[in-house]
Amino acid sequence: MGLEVYMITGDNSKTAKAIADDVGIDMVISDVMPQDKAKKIKELQNSGISVAMVGDGINDSPALVQSNLGIAMSSGTDITIESGDLILMRDDPEDVIKAIKLSKKTMSKVKQNMFWALFYNSLGIPLAAGVISSIWLTPEIAAGAMALSSISVVLNSLSLRKAKL
């Protein structure tokens, strides 16, 4: 996906490396004390990196808050879940990838919907106001056009339900 993935963990380097190798993470920062996880994230942010943090324990809460996007696992502690911006309902690391893909598709739909709403309004408002003297929209037709605009935005948004993640 073109993302830099780091593992920041309190585990020792041997354990951290084994887990990172198992899930395909190259950059590992191990032996990090709980209070230092947020500092490590701040360092990454200061170097210009936008950080999404995935955590499940109380020790991850400050780091989740510090990150640009805190992703909490639902099996985590209450404070961890409260600290996250996004809560994954299952403890499956693959769901992080699905969440990122879904968020990208959602932003694409938001942009499409903004385009169509602006298109309808930039076309409909001058017509309804009579700017083009030979074409007038009656209030009924203008209301229908606005309803059509809303329907097209809703239908476009509903297409996310069939998105392949």
Residue 116 sits in the same domain as residue 133: yes
Residue 66 sits in the same domain as residue 147: no
State the pLDDT at residue 28. 94
Residue 118 sits in the same domain as residue 134: yes
State the DSSP code for 86. Answer: E
- Taken in order 64, 60, 105, 109, the sign of the CA dihedral is negative
How many C-beta atoms surround the C-beta of residue 9 within 10 A?
Answer: 19
Residue 23 sits in the same domain as residue 80: yes
Query: Over 90: is that where the pLDDT of 46 sits?
Result: yes
Residue 65 sits in the same domain as residue 146: no
Q: pLDDT over 70 for what percent of the chain? A: 98
From residue 20, alpha-carbon distances to 17, 32, 53, 94 in Å are: 5, 15, 15, 14
According to DSSP, the residues that pair with 69 across neighbouring strands are 52
Considering the entire predicted model, what is its pTM?
Answer: 0.75
User: Cβ distance 18 to 7 under 8 Å?
Assistant: no
* Domain-located, residue 122: yes
Residue 76 sits in the same domain as residue 14: yes
Residue 56 sits in the same domain as residue 129: no
User: Cβ distance 50 to 35 under 8 Å?
Assistant: no
State the pLDDT at residue 137. 72
Number of domains in the chain: 2
Residue 112 sits in the same domain as residue 86: no
Residue 154 sits in the same domain as residue 126: yes
Q: pLDDT over 90 for what percent of the chain? A: 48
Query: Over 90: is that where the pLDDT of 144 sits?
Result: no
State the pLDDT at residue 39. 94
The string of pLDDT tens digits covering residues 49-94 is 999 999 888 888 999 999 999 999 888 778 888 888 999 998 888 8
From residue 37, alpha-carbon distances to 30, 105, 112, 162 in Å are: 10, 30, 38, 37
Domain that holds residue 71: 6-96
- Examine the fold and report which residue of 72, 96, 120 is the final residue of a domain before the chain moves on: 96
* Domain-located, residue 86: yes
Lowest mean pLDDT among 72-76, 116-120, 124-128: 124-128
State the pLDDT at residue 133. 63
